[in-house]
């Protein structure tokens, strides 16, 4: 399952629907820059690291090797869930996942500050610096927590260089590797250790036994480090292909890719946004859609549905179907626009232009559809939808070329309907 836009499509919600029929739910990339909100029996659960499937007793939630884990955040999440009566004992962490350290967060904040007008608008959670360390081979991995002396020496090595940067570039006091090692060894390692397991072996046994495994992408296609609107992207690969790398399975195991698309578009942070609205309709979408970050509280930018991006996302991820979320947010609109193509220098594009500088110049070509001016929040079947809503969803379906399987009409666990057969 993968986001087809810039994140915040409501993936947690759809994972929750699909996880019901799965035995394992795996996070394969990203970290606590993600924020998934679930509403169960009126109670709100906000998860950042633990796969949304945790709320089902029959699901084994797995954090794969492609994720970066801030162990403090993980433990707080486990404690919060435990306080609400959710048992986290089944949770399994890959020993090869990298850890987000306090110095990653410090560096993320300082680097953003230094970028001035060229800010990426990161979540300042240390995600970029943690993945940079992974690529530079100076990262600390979950399994290092099991070997105190090795952990201490890795931290000393990594911080020797980082402290020079912190002090000389940023005038920061630096981070004491031994104090950090003590903290990790005494407070973090004993609590994290019970969750560390052979995630690769576990997944292969599950697949061999014919069990269903759901891979839960965080962030989204256009925040992808390779395929997104670089440099305004995250530092991992949310696209479906990375589910393989980030969990240790092969391509043959994937038989279904569900793309999640919001019925309109939002983006947090900087970067191009062809269909962005700077008017009262944009404000209306923010207010009705409660478009403020679950994680950082930032107001999201809003715009019309962009079928060019959606088509590209269907290609990049090989989506076999779509789940459309937040259709109800459009309930009160008189007319609704959908961007069906881009125009750049007089040429029409049905997919994203291959050069980013062309993307920056794109002018949206819109189709305009009538609104339904009806409250959809109670709809539970396709025939409950007014004709205009069916037409809107069918129009998006034709634009993307794959069936829209689910349509969500409210935040509650039961507020969705099956659209395509
Ligand atoms: P980072 O992932 O914190 O480095 O942030 C890089 C970009 O990705 C910024 O524009 C963030 O706003 C965006 N981003 C990261 N995680 C999410 C998410 O879960 N939802 C939406 N945007 C995100």
Q: Whose CA is nearest to atom 2 of ligand 1?
A: 234
Pocket-forming residues, ligand 1, beta carbon under 6 Å: 7-8, 33-35, 120-123, 125, 127-128, 218-219, 223, 232, 234-235, 268-269
First-to-last CA distance in the chain? 19
Active site residue 150: no
In ligand 1, the atom with minimum distance to the C-alpha of 223 is 8
Residue-wise pLDDT for 17-65, tens only, equals 899 999 999 999 999 998 877 777 778 878 899 998 898 999 999 999 9
Give the Å distance between the CA of 16 and the centre of ligand 1: 22
Give the per-residue pLDDT at 153.
Answer: 98
Atom of ligand 1 nearest to the CA of 271: 10
- Where do we find the tokens 């924020």? 35
Mean pLDDT of 74-94: 94
pLDDT digits 0-9 by tens, 367-388 = 999 999 999 999 999 999 999 9
Q: Whose CA is nearest to atom 15 of ligand 1?
A: 33
Which two structure tokens, joined as six digits, stand for 159? 């911080």
Pocket mutation for ligand 1, best pick of 1, 260, 269 (most atoms within 8 Å of C-beta): 269
**217 C-alpha to ligand 1 centroid (Å):** 13
pLDDT at 94: 98
343-366 b/e with 16+ CB inside 10 Å = b?
ebeeeebeebbeeeeebeebebbe
pLDDT tens digit sequence for 173-208: 999 999 999 999 999 999 999 999 999 999 999 999
Record the tokens describing residue 90, joined without a space.
């089944």
- Other residues' Cβ atoms within 10 Å of the Cβ of residue 238: 30
Of 122, 229, 296, the residue with max ligand 1 atoms within 8 A of its CB, to mutate for a pocket test, comes to 122
> Which of 8, 70, 224, 328 is flagged as catalytic?
8
**Separation between Cα atoms, residue 218 and residue 242, nearest integer Å:** 11
pLDDT of 296 higher than 80: no
- Please compute the mean of the pLDDT values over residues 119-146 and round it to a whole number: 96
Cα 364 to ligand 1 centre (Å): 24
DSSP 3-state of 204: helix
Residue located via tokens 């039961």: 414
Q: In the chain, what are the helix, strand and coil shares in percent, each to the nearest 5?
A: 40, 20, 40
Q: Whose CA is closest to atom 20 on ligand 1?
A: 7
Dihedral sign (CA 410, 411, 415, 418) = positive
User: Ligand 1 centroid to 210 CA: how many Å?
Assistant: 35
> Does residue 204 carry a catalytic annotation?
no
Contact 30, 236 (CB under 8 A): yes
For residue 154, report the distance from its CA to the centre of ligand 1, in Å: 28
121 phi-psi bin (left φ>0, alpha ψ -120 to 50, beta other): left
- Nearest residue (by CA) to ligand 1, atom 22, is 7
Q: What is the pLDDT of residue 39?
A: 73
Q: How many whole angstroms from 8 Cα to the centroid of ligand 1? A: 10
Per-residue pLDDT, averaged over 126-143, amounts to 98
**Residue 411: per-residue pLDDT:** 86
- How far is the centre of ligand 1, averaged over its atoms, from the C-alpha of 209 (Å)? 36
Question: Tell me: the pLDDT tens digits for 258-268?
Answer: 999 999 999 99
Please choose, from the candidates 10, 91, 48, 40, the residue with its C-alpha nearest in 3D space to the C-alpha of residue 323: 10
Q: Whose CA is nearest to atom 9 of ligand 1?
A: 122
Tokens for 63, please give them: 């954090």
| pLDDT score of 32 | 95
Select from 70, 52, 49, 54 the least CA-distant residue to 12: 52
pLDDT confidence tier of residue 394, bands split at 50, 70 and 90: very high
Counting from 1 in the atom list of ligand 1, the atom nearest the Cα of 269 is 10
Active-site entry in 16, 24, 32, 36: 36
Q: Which residues are CB-neighbours of 302 under 8 A, at least 6 positions away?
A: 264, 265, 266, 276, 277, 282, 285, 286, 289, 291
Query: In the structure, what pLDDT confidence band is assigned to residue 297 with cuts at 50, 70 and 90?
Result: confident
CA distance 33 to 49: 9
């Amino acid at each position: 399952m993968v986001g087809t836009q810039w994140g915040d499509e409501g993936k947690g919600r759809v994972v929750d629907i699909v996880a019901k029929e799965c035995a394992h739910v795996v996070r394969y990339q990203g970290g606590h820059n993600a924020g998934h909100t679930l509403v169960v029996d009126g109670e709100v659960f906000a998860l950042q690291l633990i796969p949304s499937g945790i709320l089902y007793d029959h699901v084994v939630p797995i954090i794969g090797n492609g994720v970066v884990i801030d162990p403090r955040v993980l433990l707080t999440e486990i404690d919060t869930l435990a306080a609400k009566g959710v048992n986290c004992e089944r949770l399994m962490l890959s020993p090869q996942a990298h850890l987000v350290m306090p110095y990653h967060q410090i560096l993320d904040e300082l680097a953003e500050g230094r970028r001035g007008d060229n800010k990426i608008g990161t979540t300042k959670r240390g995600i970029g610096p943690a993945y940079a360390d992974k690529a530079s081979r100076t990262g600390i991995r979950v399994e290092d927590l099991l070997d105190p002396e090795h952990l201490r020496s890795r931290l000393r090595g990594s911080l020797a260089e980082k402290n020079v940067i912190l002090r000389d570039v940023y005038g920061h006091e630096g981070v004491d590797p031994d104090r950090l090692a003590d903290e990790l060894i005494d407070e973090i390692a004993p609590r994290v250790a019970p969750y560390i397991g052979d995630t690769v072996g576990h997944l292969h046994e599950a697949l061999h036994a014919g069990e269903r495994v759901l891979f839960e992408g965080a962030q989204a296609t256009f925040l992808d480090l390779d395929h997104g609107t670089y440099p305004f992207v995250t530092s991992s690969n949310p696209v479906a292909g990375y589910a393989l790398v980030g969990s240790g399975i092969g391509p043959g195991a994937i038989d279904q890719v569900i793309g999640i698309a919001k019925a309109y578009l939002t983006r947090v942070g900087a970067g191009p946004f062809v269909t962005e609205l700077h008017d009262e309709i944009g404000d209306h979408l923010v207010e009705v859609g409660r478009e403020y970050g679950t994680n950082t509280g930032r107001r999201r930018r809003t715009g019309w549905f962009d079928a060019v991006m959606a088509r590209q996302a269907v290609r990049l991820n090989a989506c076999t179907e779509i789940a459309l979320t937040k259709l109800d947010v459009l309930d009160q609109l008189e007319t609704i626009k959908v961007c069906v193509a881009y125009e750049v220098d007089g040429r029409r594009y049905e997919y994203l232009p291959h050069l980013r500088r062309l993307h920056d110049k794109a002018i949206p070509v819109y189709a305009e559809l009538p609104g339904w001016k009806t409250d959809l929040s109670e709809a539970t079947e396709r025939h409950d939808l007014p004709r205009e809503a069916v037409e809107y969803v069918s129009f998006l379906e034709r634009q993307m070329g794959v069936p829209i399987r689910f349509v969500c009409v409210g935040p509650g666990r039961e507020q969705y309907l099956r659209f395509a057969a």
